[in-house]
């Protein structure tokens, strides 16, 4: 097996590994149930072993490592396997690295045709590789994370190290922040620019998103600067909202899988309602600006949708739609999304502020929202067969 790895694996993209292994083993009448990597060697097993082992306290100390990228080359994956295996040896961990059959995911919202050229397919599909990491101690997990962060930057591949994998084959729910997550702007900053107080408001927004200010208090102070702004400005901003790339693909993927997708935003219903009408979100929750005779009063009606409200909304949606806890996903970018991200089975930060990247379970830095599509297909790899 080592010779096969040296000759073929290093020159073949991971997505082709199942075919290579099936061809290799069919000649020897060997059924492939599992492929593992340990200390520089690939090993084929006719028996499958579950990754989610338990420690003495009946707690899982095993994880799934999902890698997603427009292309995952063999040399990149082999370098990572080698680095992680060396860390295991240094930590005197006996755990193998389980390699699941790789897969692909869509990079854009257009179906592939069977007669499409290889170049076209390569541009519309990304690669998924899922590794099972057994016996991962807290210390070893931190060392893995440090190695993964460096490797991710070198190869521009995003990763998720998690103990569960939500599956599109079961109902689920995704709750999303709006500003700088479903859309590429902060709506209040855009309103403020047109109202002539752009720099003043943007500075406060930045501090709030970095967790330097109380969100509710900062929002009310920013909205106060918009007093006497005409409603037509809101319409102008709503008409020009740039969607986050991958948003339409994500929504289509979720609805096709019978998932629910909603917005919980510290922004405003004026924009969330427009997105729901245009794109089909199942629900939206946001703050309501007070408008009298077509003019903003500088006030917010009712209570503020803050960090805790977002987290509570995720739990309420799961209860409403009878979604299992392991099928809940949240995605956001600011400090006021952290509680929501931590309350989800899979909490994903996208192009996030430093404090969020440090605390979130998963951070997408090289993808837009198509990256979440890739992560949600990771469970398919675990459920797939090598044969």
Name 146's Cβ contacts closer than 8 Å, sequence gap at least 6: none
User: What are the DSSP E strand ranges found in the chain?
Assistant: 34-38, 41-45, 63-69, 97-99, 103-106, 125-133, 158-162, 173-176, 260-268, 283-292, 295-301, 328-332, 346-350, 362-364
Strand pairing class (34-38; 97-99)? antiparallel
End-to-end CA distance of the chain: 17
Where do we find the tokens 């006030």? 299
User: What's the CA gap between 324 and 318, in Å, rounded?
Assistant: 7
- Spatial distance between the Cα atoms of 129 and 375, rounded to a whole number of angstroms: 10
Q: Which helix (H) or strand (E) holds 123?
A: helix 118-124
Catalytic residues: 177, 179
Distance, CA of 145 to CA of 139 (rounded, Å): 10
CB 87 within 8 A of CB 74: no
Contact 125, 72 (CB under 8 A): no
Q: For residues 331 and 348, is the Cβ–Cβ distance under 8 A?
A: yes
Among candidates 157, 141, 135, 108, which has minimal Cα distance to 50? 135
Specify whether the CB–CB gap between 249 and 257 falls below 8 A.
Answer: no
């Amino acid at each position: 097996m080592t010779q096969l790895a040296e000759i073929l694996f290093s020159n073949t993209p991971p997505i082709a590994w199942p075919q290579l292994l099936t061809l290799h083993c069919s000649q020897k009448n060997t059924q492939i149930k599992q492929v593992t990597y340990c200390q520089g060697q690939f090993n084929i097993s006719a028996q499958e072993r579950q990754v989610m082992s338990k420690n003495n306290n009946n707690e899982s100390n095993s994880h799934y490592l999902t890698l997603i990228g427009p292309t995952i080359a063999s040399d990149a994956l082999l370098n990572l396997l080698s680095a992680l295996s060396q860390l295991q040896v240094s930590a005197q961990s006996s755990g193998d690295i389980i390699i699941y059959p790789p897969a692909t995911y869509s990079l854009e919202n257009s179906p592939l045709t069977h007669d499409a050229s290889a170049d076209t397919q390569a541009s519309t599909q990304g690669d998924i590789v899922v590794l099972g990491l057994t016996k991962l101690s807290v210390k070893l997990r931190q060392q893995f994370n440090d190695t993964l962060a460096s490797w991710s930057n070198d190869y521009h591949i995003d990763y998720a190290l998690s103990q569960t994998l939500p599956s599109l084959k079961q109902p689920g729910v995704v709750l999303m922040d709006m500003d700088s997550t479903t859309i590429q702007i902060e709506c209040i900053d855009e309103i403020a620019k047109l109202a002539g107080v752009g720099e003043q408001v943007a500075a406060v927004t930045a501090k709030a998103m970095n967790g330097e200010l109380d969100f509710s208090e900062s929002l009310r102070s920013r909205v106060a600067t918009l007093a006497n702004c005409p409603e037509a400005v809101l319409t102008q901003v709503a008409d020009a909202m740039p969607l986050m790339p991958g948003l339409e693909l994500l929504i289509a993927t979720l609805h096709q899988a019978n998932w629910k997708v909603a917005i919980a935003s510290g922004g405003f219903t004026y924009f969330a309602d427009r997105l729901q009408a245009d794109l089909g979100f199942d629900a939206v929750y946001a703050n309501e600006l007070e408008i009298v005779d077509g003019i903003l009063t500088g006030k917010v009606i009712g209570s503020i949708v803050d960090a805790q409200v977002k987290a509570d909304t995720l739990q309420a949606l799961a209860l409403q739609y009878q979604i299992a806890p392991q099928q809940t996903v949240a995605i956001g970018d600011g400090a006021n999304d952290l509680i929501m991200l931590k309350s989800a089975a899979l909490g994903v930060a996208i192009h996030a502020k430093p404090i969020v990247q440090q605390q979130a379970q998963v951070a997408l830095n090289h993808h837009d929202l198509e990256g979440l599509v890739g992560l949600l297909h990771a469970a398919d790899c675990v459920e797939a067969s090598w044969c």
